[in-house]
Protein backbone atom coordinates (compact mmCIF):
# COMPACT_ATOMS: atom_id res chain seq x y z
CA UNK A 1 0.00 0.00 0.00
CA UNK A 2 1.52 3.30 -1.11
CA UNK A 3 0.88 6.80 0.07
CA UNK A 4 -2.50 8.28 -0.73
CA UNK A 5 -2.96 11.30 -2.98
CA UNK A 6 -6.13 13.35 -3.44
CA UNK A 7 -6.75 15.66 -6.40
CA UNK A 8 -9.11 18.61 -6.05
CA UNK A 9 -10.28 20.17 -9.29
CA UNK A 10 -9.97 16.90 -11.19
CA UNK A 11 -12.28 17.96 -14.01
CA UNK A 12 -9.91 20.66 -15.32
CA UNK A 13 -6.83 20.39 -17.51
CA UNK A 14 -4.36 20.59 -14.62
CA UNK A 15 -6.35 18.09 -12.53
CA UNK A 16 -6.56 15.68 -15.44
CA UNK A 17 -2.82 15.94 -16.04
CA UNK A 18 -2.16 15.28 -12.35
CA UNK A 19 -4.23 12.12 -12.51
CA UNK A 20 -2.46 10.98 -15.68
CA UNK A 21 0.89 11.27 -13.93
CA UNK A 22 -0.30 9.76 -10.64
CA UNK A 23 -1.64 6.69 -12.45
CA UNK A 24 1.97 5.86 -13.37
CA UNK A 25 3.52 6.80 -10.04
CA UNK A 26 4.75 3.73 -8.15
CA UNK A 27 4.33 5.21 -4.66
CA UNK A 28 0.96 6.99 -4.82
CA UNK A 29 -2.48 5.45 -4.58
CA UNK A 30 -5.13 7.80 -5.92
CA UNK A 31 -7.63 8.63 -3.20
CA UNK A 32 -10.35 11.26 -3.40
CA UNK A 33 -11.03 12.92 -6.74
CA UNK A 34 -13.11 16.06 -6.38
CA UNK A 35 -14.84 18.68 -8.48
CA UNK A 36 -17.05 21.71 -7.99
CA UNK A 37 -19.68 22.20 -10.66
CA UNK A 38 -18.94 18.69 -11.94
CA UNK A 39 -19.31 17.00 -8.54
CA UNK A 40 -21.45 13.88 -8.89
CA UNK A 41 -20.35 13.18 -12.48
CA UNK A 42 -18.23 10.21 -13.43
CA UNK A 43 -14.65 11.15 -14.20
CA UNK A 44 -14.91 9.38 -17.54
CA UNK A 45 -17.53 11.91 -18.62
CA UNK A 46 -15.17 14.86 -18.19
CA UNK A 47 -11.74 13.21 -18.61
CA UNK A 48 -12.42 10.39 -21.10
CA UNK A 49 -8.71 9.71 -21.68
CA UNK A 50 -8.25 8.53 -18.07
CA UNK A 51 -9.71 5.06 -18.72
CA UNK A 52 -8.56 3.36 -15.48
CA UNK A 53 -10.43 5.98 -13.43
CA UNK A 54 -13.43 6.39 -15.70
CA UNK A 55 -15.97 4.95 -13.24
CA UNK A 56 -14.80 7.07 -10.31
CA UNK A 57 -17.33 9.70 -9.22
CA UNK A 58 -16.20 13.27 -8.60
CA UNK A 59 -16.82 14.12 -4.95
CA UNK A 60 -17.46 17.61 -3.56
CA UNK A 61 -14.36 19.67 -2.83
CA UNK A 62 -14.49 19.82 0.97
CA UNK A 63 -11.96 19.41 3.75
CA UNK A 64 -13.84 16.33 4.93
CA UNK A 65 -13.33 14.60 1.59
CA UNK A 66 -9.72 15.73 1.19
CA UNK A 67 -8.57 15.13 4.76
CA UNK A 68 -6.67 12.02 5.77
CA UNK A 69 -4.48 11.77 2.65
CA UNK A 70 -0.70 11.93 2.62
CA UNK A 71 -0.71 14.56 -0.10
CA UNK A 72 -3.46 16.79 -1.50
CA UNK A 73 -3.08 18.45 -4.88
CA UNK A 74 -5.21 21.56 -5.32
CA UNK A 75 -5.91 22.29 -8.99
CA UNK A 76 -8.48 24.97 -8.23
CA UNK A 77 -9.23 28.44 -9.64
CA UNK A 78 -7.24 31.26 -8.11
CA UNK A 79 -8.60 32.34 -4.76
CA UNK A 80 -10.09 28.99 -3.79
CA UNK A 81 -7.08 27.15 -2.33
CA UNK A 82 -6.40 29.06 0.86
CA UNK A 83 -9.56 28.18 2.78
CA UNK A 84 -9.34 24.48 1.85
CA UNK A 85 -5.65 24.30 2.79
CA UNK A 86 -6.23 26.00 6.13
CA UNK A 87 -8.67 23.25 7.11
CA UNK A 88 -6.25 20.40 6.39
CA UNK A 89 -3.81 18.90 8.89
CA UNK A 90 -0.42 20.63 9.05
CA UNK A 91 1.13 17.18 8.58
CA UNK A 92 -0.54 16.77 5.19
CA UNK A 93 1.55 17.79 2.20
CA UNK A 94 -0.57 20.29 0.26
CA UNK A 95 0.50 21.25 -3.25
CA UNK A 96 -1.28 24.32 -4.64
CA UNK A 97 -1.31 24.50 -8.44
CA UNK A 98 -3.08 27.87 -8.31
CA UNK A 99 -1.62 31.31 -7.65
CA UNK A 100 -2.82 31.81 -4.07
CA UNK A 101 0.51 31.18 -2.33
CA UNK A 102 3.16 31.92 -4.98
CA UNK A 103 3.89 35.58 -4.28
CA UNK A 104 5.81 36.79 -1.24
CA UNK A 105 4.83 40.45 -1.74
CA UNK A 106 1.30 41.18 -0.57
CA UNK A 107 1.33 44.49 -2.45
CA UNK A 108 2.05 42.67 -5.71
CA UNK A 109 -0.82 40.29 -4.97
CA UNK A 110 -3.20 43.18 -4.37
CA UNK A 111 -2.09 44.93 -7.58
CA UNK A 112 -2.30 41.93 -9.92
CA UNK A 113 -4.95 39.72 -8.29
CA UNK A 114 -6.88 41.91 -5.87
CA UNK A 115 -8.29 40.89 -2.51
CA UNK A 116 -6.47 39.66 0.55
CA UNK A 117 -3.12 37.91 0.17
CA UNK A 118 -3.21 34.37 1.62
CA UNK A 119 0.52 34.29 2.41
CA UNK A 120 3.40 32.55 0.69
CA UNK A 121 4.43 28.88 0.65
CA UNK A 122 7.62 27.14 -0.43
CA UNK A 123 8.03 27.90 -4.13
CA UNK A 124 7.97 24.65 -6.08
CA UNK A 125 10.59 25.17 -8.78
CA UNK A 126 13.34 22.82 -7.56
CA UNK A 127 15.89 23.62 -10.29
CA UNK A 128 15.80 27.38 -9.75
CA UNK A 129 19.37 28.46 -9.04
CA UNK A 130 19.85 31.18 -6.44
CA UNK A 131 22.62 33.73 -6.20
CA UNK A 132 25.45 31.89 -4.49
CA UNK A 133 24.58 28.55 -6.07
CA UNK A 134 21.85 27.19 -3.79
CA UNK A 135 18.82 25.53 -5.40
CA UNK A 136 15.16 25.97 -4.62
CA UNK A 137 14.88 22.21 -3.98
CA UNK A 138 16.60 22.78 -0.65
CA UNK A 139 13.51 24.74 0.43
CA UNK A 140 10.99 22.38 -1.17
CA UNK A 141 12.47 19.21 0.35
CA UNK A 142 10.47 18.33 3.45
CA UNK A 143 8.02 21.24 3.09
CA UNK A 144 4.37 20.62 3.91
CA UNK A 145 2.90 23.54 1.96
CA UNK A 146 4.18 24.11 -1.59
CA UNK A 147 3.08 26.57 -4.27
CA UNK A 148 3.60 25.33 -7.82
CA UNK A 149 4.89 28.12 -10.10
CA UNK A 150 2.86 29.48 -12.94
CA UNK A 151 3.59 27.96 -16.34
CA UNK A 152 5.12 31.11 -17.83
CA UNK A 153 7.37 31.79 -14.78
CA UNK A 154 8.57 28.18 -14.94
CA UNK A 155 9.75 28.62 -18.53
CA UNK A 156 11.15 32.12 -17.97
CA UNK A 157 12.79 31.37 -14.63
CA UNK A 158 14.60 28.32 -15.94
CA UNK A 159 15.62 30.19 -19.09
CA UNK A 160 17.21 33.22 -17.41
CA UNK A 161 18.16 32.31 -13.82
CA UNK A 162 21.65 30.93 -14.60
CA UNK A 163 22.71 34.23 -16.14
CA UNK A 164 21.50 36.24 -13.17
CA UNK A 165 23.02 33.83 -10.63
CA UNK A 166 26.37 34.14 -12.41
CA UNK A 167 26.20 37.94 -12.29
CA UNK A 168 26.18 38.27 -16.08
CA UNK A 169 22.89 40.07 -16.66
CA UNK A 170 21.53 43.54 -15.96
CA UNK A 171 18.38 43.39 -13.80
CA UNK A 172 16.37 46.35 -15.13
CA UNK A 173 15.93 45.71 -18.85
CA UNK A 174 14.53 42.19 -19.16
CA UNK A 175 12.08 41.58 -22.00
CA UNK A 176 10.05 38.38 -22.40
CA UNK A 177 7.71 37.39 -25.19
CA UNK A 178 6.18 33.96 -24.74
CA UNK A 179 3.69 31.90 -26.70
CA UNK A 180 1.32 29.45 -25.03
CA UNK A 181 -1.14 26.85 -26.21
CA UNK A 182 -4.80 27.42 -25.47
CA UNK A 183 -4.89 24.92 -22.58
CA UNK A 184 -3.08 27.55 -20.51
CA UNK A 185 -6.38 29.41 -20.21
CA UNK A 186 -8.10 26.46 -18.52
CA UNK A 187 -11.02 24.31 -19.56
CA UNK A 188 -13.92 26.73 -19.07
CA UNK A 189 -15.50 27.61 -22.43
CA UNK A 190 -14.47 31.02 -23.79
CA UNK A 191 -15.41 32.38 -27.23
CA UNK A 192 -11.87 33.59 -27.98
CA UNK A 193 -10.57 30.03 -27.47
CA UNK A 194 -12.90 28.34 -29.91
CA UNK A 195 -11.07 26.29 -32.50
CA UNK A 196 -12.28 28.56 -35.30
CA UNK A 197 -10.79 31.57 -33.47
CA UNK A 198 -7.44 29.99 -32.61
CA UNK A 199 -6.59 27.89 -35.67
CA UNK A 200 -4.26 29.61 -38.10
CA UNK A 201 -3.83 32.68 -35.91
CA UNK A 202 -1.59 34.12 -33.21
CA UNK A 203 -2.60 36.98 -30.95
CA UNK A 204 -1.18 38.89 -27.98
CA UNK A 205 -3.04 39.35 -24.72
CA UNK A 206 -2.29 40.86 -21.32
CA UNK A 207 -0.25 43.53 -23.12
CA UNK A 208 1.36 46.40 -21.27
CA UNK A 209 2.71 44.67 -18.17
CA UNK A 210 -0.65 43.59 -16.77
CA UNK A 211 -0.37 39.79 -16.97
CA UNK A 212 -0.60 38.23 -13.51
CA UNK A 213 2.56 36.16 -13.95
CA UNK A 214 4.73 39.28 -14.25
CA UNK A 215 5.45 39.80 -10.52
CA UNK A 216 6.10 36.08 -10.13
CA UNK A 217 8.74 36.20 -12.87
CA UNK A 218 10.36 39.15 -11.16
CA UNK A 219 10.29 37.35 -7.80
CA UNK A 220 11.81 34.24 -9.32
CA UNK A 221 14.63 36.04 -11.13
CA UNK A 222 15.33 38.30 -8.15
CA UNK A 223 16.16 35.18 -6.12
CA UNK A 224 18.72 34.30 -8.77
CA UNK A 225 20.14 37.81 -8.99
CA UNK A 226 20.06 38.70 -5.27
CA UNK A 227 18.62 42.07 -6.33
CA UNK A 228 15.38 43.32 -7.81
CA UNK A 229 14.73 42.31 -11.40
CA UNK A 230 12.15 44.05 -13.57
CA UNK A 231 10.46 42.26 -16.46
CA UNK A 232 8.48 43.51 -19.44
CA UNK A 233 6.29 40.54 -20.35
CA UNK A 234 4.04 40.02 -23.36
CA UNK A 235 2.18 36.70 -23.67
CA UNK A 236 0.77 35.46 -26.95
CA UNK A 237 -1.74 32.75 -27.80
CA UNK A 238 -0.51 30.17 -30.30
CA UNK A 239 -2.64 27.77 -32.37
CA UNK A 240 -1.73 24.66 -30.38
CA UNK A 241 -3.24 22.83 -27.43
CA UNK A 242 -0.16 22.52 -25.22
CA UNK A 243 3.24 24.06 -24.83
CA UNK A 244 5.08 27.29 -24.05
CA UNK A 245 7.95 28.85 -25.97
CA UNK A 246 9.54 31.75 -24.07
CA UNK A 247 11.99 34.14 -25.72
CA UNK A 248 13.79 36.14 -23.04
CA UNK A 249 16.40 38.86 -23.45
CA UNK A 250 18.53 40.77 -20.99
CA UNK A 251 21.53 43.08 -21.27
CA UNK A 252 25.00 41.79 -20.49
CA UNK A 253 26.55 43.64 -17.58
CA UNK A 254 29.43 45.97 -18.45
CA UNK A 255 32.62 43.95 -18.29
CA UNK A 256 30.85 40.58 -18.34
CA UNK A 257 32.78 38.03 -20.38
CA UNK A 258 30.64 36.85 -23.30
CA UNK A 259 32.66 33.66 -23.39
CA UNK A 260 31.33 32.79 -19.93
CA UNK A 261 27.66 32.94 -20.90
CA UNK A 262 27.26 29.45 -22.28
CA UNK A 263 29.37 28.03 -19.44
CA UNK A 264 27.02 29.56 -16.85
CA UNK A 265 24.03 27.68 -18.25
CA UNK A 266 26.00 24.45 -18.72
CA UNK A 267 27.19 24.59 -15.12
CA UNK A 268 23.71 25.34 -13.79
CA UNK A 269 21.99 22.43 -15.52
CA UNK A 270 24.71 19.79 -15.84
CA UNK A 271 23.16 17.59 -13.15
CA UNK A 272 19.47 18.45 -13.58
CA UNK A 273 17.31 15.57 -14.78
CA UNK A 274 14.45 17.74 -16.01
CA UNK A 275 16.31 20.65 -17.60
CA UNK A 276 18.17 19.98 -20.82
CA UNK A 277 20.56 22.66 -22.02
CA UNK A 278 20.79 22.01 -25.72
CA UNK A 279 23.94 21.68 -27.81
CA UNK A 280 25.03 24.80 -29.63
CA UNK A 281 22.98 25.42 -32.75
CA UNK A 282 19.94 23.46 -31.55
CA UNK A 283 16.84 25.38 -30.47
CA UNK A 284 13.93 24.39 -28.21
CA UNK A 285 10.68 23.26 -29.82
CA UNK A 286 7.45 22.85 -27.91
CA UNK A 287 6.73 19.65 -29.85
CA UNK A 288 9.70 17.96 -28.17
CA UNK A 289 8.33 18.58 -24.68
CA UNK A 290 4.75 17.35 -25.05
CA UNK A 291 3.77 15.07 -22.19
CA UNK A 292 7.19 15.32 -20.51
CA UNK A 293 8.43 17.02 -17.38
CA UNK A 294 11.46 18.34 -19.25
CA UNK A 295 12.41 21.93 -20.02
CA UNK A 296 14.56 22.61 -23.09
CA UNK A 297 16.84 25.67 -22.88
CA UNK A 298 19.22 27.45 -25.25
CA UNK A 299 21.12 30.75 -25.17
CA UNK A 300 22.80 33.05 -27.67
CA UNK A 301 24.43 36.49 -27.54
CA UNK A 302 23.36 39.34 -29.76
CA UNK A 303 26.84 40.85 -29.71
CA UNK A 304 25.86 43.88 -31.78
CA UNK A 305 23.72 45.27 -28.94
CA UNK A 306 25.10 43.32 -25.99
CA UNK A 307 22.07 41.24 -25.11
CA UNK A 308 21.69 37.61 -24.11
CA UNK A 309 18.79 35.78 -25.73
CA UNK A 310 17.55 32.75 -23.77
CA UNK A 311 14.80 30.52 -25.09
CA UNK A 312 12.90 27.88 -23.17
CA UNK A 313 10.25 25.35 -24.13
CA UNK A 314 8.02 23.37 -21.78
CA UNK A 315 4.70 21.57 -21.78
CA UNK A 316 2.58 24.01 -19.81
CA UNK A 317 0.44 21.22 -18.31
CA UNK A 318 3.30 18.90 -17.37
CA UNK A 319 6.49 20.72 -16.37
CA UNK A 320 4.48 23.95 -16.18
CA UNK A 321 1.89 22.62 -13.72
CA UNK A 322 1.15 18.98 -12.86
CA UNK A 323 4.64 17.60 -13.42
CA UNK A 324 6.13 20.34 -11.27
CA UNK A 325 3.54 19.50 -8.61
CA UNK A 326 4.43 15.80 -8.55
CA UNK A 327 8.15 16.63 -8.60
CA UNK A 328 7.64 18.87 -5.57
CA UNK A 329 5.57 16.20 -3.81
CA UNK A 330 8.37 13.70 -4.34
CA UNK A 331 10.84 16.06 -2.67
CA UNK A 332 8.47 16.88 0.18
CA UNK A 333 7.91 13.21 0.97
CA UNK A 334 11.55 12.11 0.68
CA UNK A 335 11.03 10.17 -2.56
CA UNK A 336 13.40 10.25 -5.55
CA UNK A 337 12.71 13.53 -7.32
CA UNK A 338 12.22 11.92 -10.73
CA UNK A 339 9.85 9.18 -9.56
CA UNK A 340 6.83 8.67 -11.81
CA UNK A 341 7.69 11.57 -14.12
CA UNK A 342 8.30 11.24 -17.88
CA UNK A 343 11.61 12.53 -19.22
CA UNK A 344 10.70 12.19 -22.89
CA UNK A 345 8.00 13.74 -24.99
CA UNK A 346 5.80 12.25 -27.68
CA UNK A 347 6.29 12.56 -31.43
CA UNK A 348 5.05 13.44 -33.95
Active site residues: 151
Give Cβ neighbours of residue 66 (< 8 Å, ≥ 6 apart).
6, 8, 32, 34, 72, 84, 88
d(CA 50, CA 327): 21
How many other CB atoms sit within 10 Å of the CB of residue 198?
Answer: 18
d(CA 314, CA 181): 11
**What DSSP character marks residue 39?**
T
Q: What are phi and psi of 244, to 5 degrees?
A: -135, 135
**Burial zone of 253 (CB within 10 Å; 0-12 exposed, 13-18 middle, 19+ buried):** middle
Q: What is the 3-state secondary structure (H, E, C) of 265-322?
A: HHHHHCCCCCEEECCCCCCCCHHHHCCCCCEEEEEEEECCCCEEEEEEEECCCHHHHH
d(CA 18, CA 316): 12
How many other CB atoms sit within 10 Å of the CB of residue 27?
Answer: 16
Amino acid sequence: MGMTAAVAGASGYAGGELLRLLLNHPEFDIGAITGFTQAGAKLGEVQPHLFPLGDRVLEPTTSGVLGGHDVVFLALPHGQSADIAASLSPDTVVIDCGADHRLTDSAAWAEFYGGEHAGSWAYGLPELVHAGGARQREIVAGARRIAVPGCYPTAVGLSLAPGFAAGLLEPLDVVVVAASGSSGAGKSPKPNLLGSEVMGSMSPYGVGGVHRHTPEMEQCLSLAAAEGVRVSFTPTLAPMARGILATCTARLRPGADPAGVRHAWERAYADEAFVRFLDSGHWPRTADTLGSNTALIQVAIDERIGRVVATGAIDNLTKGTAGGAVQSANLALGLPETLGLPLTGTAP
